[in-house]
Amino acid sequence: MKPSPDLQTLLDIIAALRTPQTGCPWDLEQTFTSIAPYTIEEAYEVVDAIERGDLMDLKDELGDLLLQVVFHARMAQEEGRFAFPDVVEAITTKLVRRHPHVFGDTRDLTPDQVGQLWNQIKAQEKSERAAARIAAGLPPEKHAQGLLAGIPASLPGLTRAVKLQSKASTVGFDWNDARLVLAKIREEADEIEAALNEGATKEVVAGEVGDLLFAMANLARHLDTDPEAALRSTNAKFERRFAYIEAELARRGTTTKDASLEEMDALWNEAKGRVG
């Protein structure tokens, strides 16, 4: 099997890896569930390459993500459910259907109108999908009912919080000023302090922390900021500054284990001006 830019080669390679007796033992024992964490990880690595501006790395990471799609499709094909061409047909059908302003007669829409049309088409698709499942004798999709239905529970917590809040806002369940969200954040922080002062259980404190994080995600949404991206940026900043502390201590012949908190804090403040 030779490397090739032809997608069929990738499909053939995965088929070979999944062929009993002659395939790869590791690949053969995988299931949708066991592969799912890798799918999420690869998606994050794509985002990481984009945020680092590393297009060479992005090429490789997109390949890894494509592998996940092909792998899942191959397992479904083995079960007689669907195959990779069905995946391609489904997404092309969806894209054409959701863009009547490009592929149909609708024209000259504003970005806001496009978003409204997109949501209307998605709602129609959901209704039709439910009817098709009933006609096929399949059970209803296992999603929550109501306005907040269809937001995957497997999404990162902050991302899912923003999506829940955004949906609720479509019916007016929202603040109209970011400063009101800030007040809610202060209220949630006070509730954490009260829980600590009262000697509340770990579970109670964890619940209060969750409320605070939910409010923080809401603030990010009101400020048109992706909370996941903002946190990743802060994580990277923390890494740079802590690495500076380690390097400076090493230059002095010591380590973080031997340094005092005051010494490390002074280096932290120094790092702010030197490594950002």
pLDDT, tens digit, 9 for 90 and up, residues 106-159: 888 898 889 888 888 988 888 888 888 888 888 877 655 688 887 888 889 999
Quick check: 101 and 107 in contact, CB under 8 A? yes
Nearest to 70 by CA among 16, 123, 145: 16
Nearest to 16 by CA among 6, 5, 28: 28
Q: Model pTM? A: 0.68
Same domain, 49 and 82: yes
Same domain, 17 and 85: yes
C-alpha span between 131 and 138 (Å, rounded): 10
Same domain, 171 and 184: yes
Query: Within a domain: residue 133?
Result: no
Query: Within a domain: residue 185?
Result: yes
Query: Within a domain: residue 2?
Result: no
Query: Within a domain: residue 174?
Result: yes
Number of structural domains the chain divides into:
3
Per-residue confidence (pLDDT) for residue 221, from 0 to 100:
97
Q: Dihedral sign for Cα 236, 240, 243, 245, please.
A: negative
Query: Within a domain: residue 206?
Result: yes
Same domain, 92 and 18: yes
Same domain, 219 and 237: no
Helix axes 227-251, 157-169, angle to 10 degrees: 150
Tokens 């806002």 -> residue: 169
C-alpha span between 192 and 189 (Å, rounded): 5
**What CATH number has the domain bearing residue 42?**
1.10.287.1080
Residue finishing a domain among 207, 225, 243: 225
Residue finishing a domain among 78, 98, 118: 98
Same domain, 162 and 244: no
| H/E stretch holding 264 | helix 261-274
Q: Among 5-14, 64-73, 96-105, whose mean pLDDT is lowest?
A: 96-105
Same domain, 29 and 69: yes
Give the CA angle between residues 238, 243, 248 to the nearest 5°.
130
Same domain, 235 and 191: no
Same domain, 243 and 217: no
Which residue did the predictor score with more confidence, 19 or 139?
19
Query: Within a domain: residue 147?
Result: no
* Structural domain harbouring 50: 7-98
Residue 93 pLDDT grade (very low, low, confident, very high; cuts 50, 70, 90): very high
Same domain, 219 and 245: no
C-alpha span between 256 and 244 (Å, rounded): 11
Same domain, 182 and 239: no
Query: Within a domain: residue 152?
Result: no
Gyration radius (Cα) of the chain, Å: 25
**In the predicted model, what is the mean pLDDT of the chain?**
93
Using the predicted structure, report yes or no on whether residue 246 has a pLDDT greater than 80: yes
Query: Within a domain: residue 41?
Result: yes
Token pair belonging to 209:
């922390």
Per-residue confidence (pLDDT) for residue 143, from 0 to 100:
55
Same domain, 212 and 239: no
C-alpha span between 175 and 169 (Å, rounded): 8
